[in-house]
Structure 1
Amino acid sequence: MNTKSGTSGHPKGLYVLFATEMWERFNYYGMRAILIYFMTDALLYAKPFASNLYGGYTGLSYLTPLVGGYIADRYWGNRHSIIIGGLFMAFAEFLLFGFASYYQELQNNPDLSRLLFYTGLGIMIAGNGFFKPNISSMVGQLYPSQDKRLDPAYTIFYMGINVGGMLGPFICGLVGNTGNPADFKWAFLAAGIGMLLSVITFKYLKDKYIVSPEGKPVGIIPERMEGKKHFLKNPFSLQSLLFMLALSAVAVGLLYMHADQIPSFMVGSVKVAFDISMLLLVAFIVILVLIFSDKSLTRIEVQRIIVIFIVSFFVVFFWSAFEQAGASLSFFANEQTDRYIPFLNFTVPPSWFQSLNSAFVVIFAPLFAGIWLFLGKRKMEPNSPAKMAIGLLLLALGFLVIAYGVKDPHKQKVNMMWLTSMYALHTWGELCLSPIGLSLVNKLAPIRFASLLMAVWFMANAAANVLAGKLSALYPEPGQTTHFLGYSMSSLYDFFMLFVVMAGVASVILLLLTRWLGRWMHESK
């Protein structure tokens, strides 16, 4: 079977995966771009509540891939997991479309309204858990081992992610974020159609093109499970459907517990409400015990694992600030940014600003790859922790730009270029941190703990998203003062300076640790 576009080109299966991932990211980021506006403008949720719910939703979206990856590796294989996850995500969007079509009628029944909304989010979280971890792992299976085309292949695939991430907020914002709350339903519909296109593309092209260099299908049910009887043997059975629905129900329950702060309990004289961060803490401790209780670990392996834990801690500071894009920075784009373009007589939808990050990735990723290559040839390339420290510093500079833009209390709204400049700096920071961190975990993790240590990375992202929601809830309204660890914020300048200090201090500390971390990485020169 000829699956290649030429002797030195890439397998056509890569472009099938590119299109599949592009439409899925169109769906996810398109829906995410309007989510906070739907909650505050249509459902009339208070900003702190909407921010906290947003953080819970995005945090759980990084946790369920641990479940989806586990089930795929042992029972369903990548292919079936992608199709099932994609169908659940599409169904979630259409459910939210139906809900958004009747949200006004449901305002008289807030309990039912919240249940339907949370159900849509819960199904989306469950579906994402099975789609997200399985498609990227199939890219490498299209190539022979040690194939030099593999790194460029992941670059092409990464472009698919960002093309979808750019188009989703643009299209969904255009049709849904119009200023009329009744139009949000069209954004959910557009996202659902995008997700269906993703599933259809994969379903009807996978057998012909998603194959190994020898022409054998990849991502199928693991051979060791063929013929064995088990609860999840048939991915499309009633039992598997019930399992997915149960996972969705757990996600819905966790959203209630996190956003509505139910249940709460007393610790001494202090009332503590359950949230997802507690779940993350327990999971982190369990993984810590599982790994370090292994007596076969060598000294070098222990040191490398400690490096992974340390850099994962620092990425929490990065993503908790970076993910303000879908929360507090969305409020800022909507209320404090002059989005009117006079010569076009057009007001830019606020959700369009969430397309900037992906657009800048497409523009600047080749430049950063070239910079590291240039420095590497001259033996001047910083090590991975140093690159990540640079990423945190660029993030801090981005918030410093926007803080300077709002420093004048008499200025009603700021020019769009302030927000655009901030997103450019944030994207440069992401390019220094995100792909570098993923590569670091893959390189340093002992084979027998590769999945568990990747789980640590995902958990750091989940914790960061939960924290992002909590920090966004501190976004100060006019005349209001909010507080964080003794720091008072009564203006947007105060609020954005919180992230400048947080990311800046984390950057300096990580930079001071880079030489020591480099020794513990034990990388060959």
Structure 2
Amino acid sequence: MQLSSQPKGLVHLVAVQMWEFFSYYGMRALLILYLTDKLLMSDTQAYALYGAYTSLVYVTPIIGGYIADKYLGNYCSVIVGSILMIIGHGVMSITSDTHITLYAALALIICGYGFFKTNSSCLLGELYKKNESARESGFSLSYIGGNIGSALSPILCGYAASQWGWHVGFGLAGIGMFIGLCIFLSGKRNFAQVEGIKTQALLTKSAGLSHWQWLVLGLVMSMVGLMFALQELWAGYILAAISLISLTKILSLYKTCSAEDKKKLNSIMYFMVFGTVFWAFDQQGGSSISLFIDRNMDTTIGGYEIPTAFFQSINPVAVIIGGLAVTWLWKALASKSISVKTLTKLNMGLLLLTAGFALIMLSAKLAMATGHTTFLWLLIGLFFIGTAELFIDPVALSAITRLNPQGSTGTLAAIYMLASGSLANYLAANIASMASLDSGTTNSAMDLISAATQYHQVFQSIFYVTMVVLILGVFAAFKHRHEPDM
């Protein structure tokens, strides 16, 4: 692929996305281990807080998408989100004997993610208004670039945490986000044509306050509310409320849109269902699979024990390697005027997901003999799952920005993130809780065998479900084979 065919802003946008991936996945690789090993939470408590955080991270983008559409524009929203995440990681690096700094840091990152995540993808979509043919490959390049950051972060942040303490590992994640923001701002001139801040809308007053003042007040109240939500594990209630609002928004779009836009919305609904199922299982990598590695994997090579956090890099490395091949494939097919339908691409991702869990299930089965096993099969399984991502989010988000029913790209992309991110992560935490080991120590041989057995049962159940969903996906692709948007 020639970068000369891509918009100039792509380099700066990919850079900030890369460092955002670095900061988020660096912290995420440490979080479940930090909660269980440092804060001594039980598996059940750790899974619940981890699930609350990872689900709320994907709730806020729907609000951030709305604010970008109506007030800030995508470019400014990316800047605001980056700043909030930098502050959040900084707070996370503060050593404290209480959990207040933990909740405050997570709340800041959640708010920052809301402004950043979907709006960065929508900003990328804006760059391709006059270069539609390069859109698909541009989104793939963006995804590859982001995963360079998420490949490096578990290794660097994991090593820093193991050598100098948890706070250093978390602090390094924040430094990465700061570097990304600086690179993004240096390319401001390349985003001159994108939609900017809607000044008139921000200056409009309601109830005695300008809308920008209401936005600032709402942000402060949201951060305080999120701290309590994390502490009290209210994520499920918040998710239910936001989901209801999102459903109302979708129904209102159906009522007011044209027949052609209704078909586009139907397509997006399919993408949301596929994405939700995929990510509910994929996110086991940061929770149940991570603790499975920590407890049942023999990770020693040449006398050196590989930190568990390092294994979080397998997924993004797979995305990078597989992404290069997939990007080339899409371009080669486009040059021959061959178009692969969106549902077919999603099914390819589900097939790889199924194969990945088949190998992880095998790894757990082998661990049931003695309590430990080699990480070879699990490594290959994680590689398959990582490659599968290339056929899910980049494909779905690219399609949403292309379809753009009623000019609601930001809102619909945020709702997609709500379903495939927030709802999926909430489900993922509940799935992981099925593998909770809170009955005592896991150091003896019998306890390790018991743990491996429980992990195997969970991974086997996931494998069976992915098989069923894959079959349904193939049927859906066949049924809608003549519809261009599917």
TM-score in terms of structure 1 length: 0.81
Report the alpha carbon displacement of residue 417 of structure 1 after superposing the two structures with TM: 1.6
1:297 paired residue number: 258
* Cα-to-partner distance string for 1:331-365 (whole Å, 9 max, x where unaligned): 012111111111xx321111111111111111111
1:244 paired residue number: 219
Report the alpha carbon displacement of residue 29 of structure 1 after superposing the two structures with TM: 1.0
Residues 87-96 or 373-382, more deviating: 373-382
2:448 paired residue number: none
* Cα-to-partner distance string for 1:66-110 (whole Å, 9 max, x where unaligned): 212222232233343333222221111111111xx23xxx2xxxx
Task: Name the CA shift for 1:282/1:256 in 2 (closer, same or farther; >3 Å).
Answer: farther
Report the alpha carbon displacement of residue 128 of structure 1 after superposing the two structures with TM: 1.2
Structure with the larger helix share: 2
Amino acid at match of 2:184: F
* Cα-to-partner distance string for 1:301-321 (whole Å, 9 max, x where unaligned): 434423322332232221100
From 91, 100, 105, give the equivalent of 2:87.
Answer: 91
Task: Name the CA shift for 1:232/1:500 in 2 (closer, same or farther; >3 Å).
Answer: farther
The higher-RCO structure (CA 8 Å, 6+ apart) is 2
CA distance in 1 between counterparts of 2:269 and 2:5 reads 38
Does 1:53 find its partner at 2:49? yes
Amino acid at match of 1:92: G
What SS does the aligned partner of 2:130 have? coil
What SS does the aligned partner of 1:459 have? helix
Does 1:457 find its partner at 2:416? yes
Please say if residues 78 and 119 of structure 2, whose CA atoms lie closer than 8 Å, have aligned partners that are also in contact.
yes
Does 1:172 find its partner at 2:157? yes
CA distance in 2 between counterparts of 1:14 and 1:349 reads 34
Does 1:320 find its partner at 2:320? no
From 464, 467, 470, give the equivalent of 1:501.
Answer: 464
Amino acid at match of 2:217: L
CA distance in 2 between counterparts of 1:134 and 1:52 reads 28
Please say if residues 73 and 222 of structure 1, whose CA atoms lie closer than 8 Å, have aligned partners that are also in contact.
no
Task: Name the CA shift for 1:220/1:439 in 2 (closer, same or farther; >3 Å).
Answer: closer
Report the alpha carbon displacement of residue 459 of structure 1 after superposing the two structures with TM: 1.9
Amino acid at match of 1:458: M
Identity of paired residues, percent?
Answer: 27
From 340, 349, 355, give the equivalent of 2:300.
Answer: 340
What SS does the aligned partner of 1:62 have? coil
* Cα-to-partner distance string for 1:178-200 (whole Å, 9 max, x where unaligned): 5xxx8111111101111222233
Please say if residues 65 and 414 of structure 2, whose CA atoms lie closer than 8 Å, have aligned partners that are also in contact.
no
Structure 2: gaps (5+ residues): 441-451
Please say if residues 96 and 185 of structure 1, whose CA atoms lie closer than 8 Å, have aligned partners that are also in contact.
yes
CA distance in 2 between counterparts of 1:257 and 1:95 reads 20
* Cα-to-partner distance string for 1:37-72 (whole Å, 9 max, x where unaligned): 111111111112211221221111112112122222
CA distance in 1 between counterparts of 2:129 and 2:116 reads 24
CA distance in 1 between counterparts of 2:324 and 2:205 reads 48
Aligned CA-pair RMSD: 3.0
Residues 34-43 or 276-285, more deviating: 276-285
Does 1:145 find its partner at 2:138? no
CA distance in 2 between counterparts of 1:502 and 1:147 reads 37
CA distance in 1 between counterparts of 2:430 and 2:38 reads 21
Amino acid at match of 2:158: G
TM-score in terms of structure 2 length: 0.87
Does 1:115 find its partner at 2:77? no
2:78 paired residue number: 82
Residues 406-415 or 507-516, more deviating: 406-415
CA distance in 2 between counterparts of 1:78 and 1:436 reads 20
* Cα-to-partner distance string for 1:353-394 (whole Å, 9 max, x where unaligned): 111111111111122234455667788865322321232222
Amino acid at match of 1:67: I
1:361 paired residue number: 319
- Count how many residue pairs are aligned between Structure 1 and Structure 2: 470
Please say if residues 177 and 351 of structure 1, whose CA atoms lie closer than 8 Å, have aligned partners that are also in contact.
no
Report the alpha carbon displacement of residue 226 of structure 1 after superposing the two structures with TM: 7.5
2:444 paired residue number: none
Report the alpha carbon displacement of residue 228 of structure 1 after superposing the two structures with TM: 4.7
From 430, 437, 455, give the equivalent of 1:470.
Answer: 430
Does 1:184 find its partner at 2:145? no
1:426 paired residue number: 385
From 199, 214, 231, give the equivalent of 1:256.
Answer: 231
What SS does the aligned partner of 1:220 have? coil
CA distance in 2 between counterparts of 1:34 and 1:292 reads 42
2:473 paired residue number: 510
Please say if residues 387 and 433 of structure 1, whose CA atoms lie closer than 8 Å, have aligned partners that are also in contact.
yes
Amino acid at match of 1:130: F
Task: Name the CA shift for 1:243/1:301 in 2 (closer, same or farther; >3 Å).
Answer: closer
1:62 paired residue number: 58
Residues 44-53 or 76-85, more deviating: 76-85
CA distance in 1 between counterparts of 2:437 and 2:174 reads 34
Please say if residues 18 and 157 of structure 1, whose CA atoms lie closer than 8 Å, have aligned partners that are also in contact.
yes
Task: Name the CA shift for 1:244/1:177 in 2 (closer, same or farther; >3 Å).
Answer: farther
Amino acid at match of 1:506: V
CA distance in 2 between counterparts of 1:329 and 1:523 reads 36
Task: Name the CA shift for 1:177/1:422 in 2 (closer, same or farther; >3 Å).
Answer: farther
From 414, 417, 438, give the equivalent of 2:376.
Answer: 417
Amino acid at match of 2:279: W
1:154 paired residue number: 139
1:211 paired residue number: 192
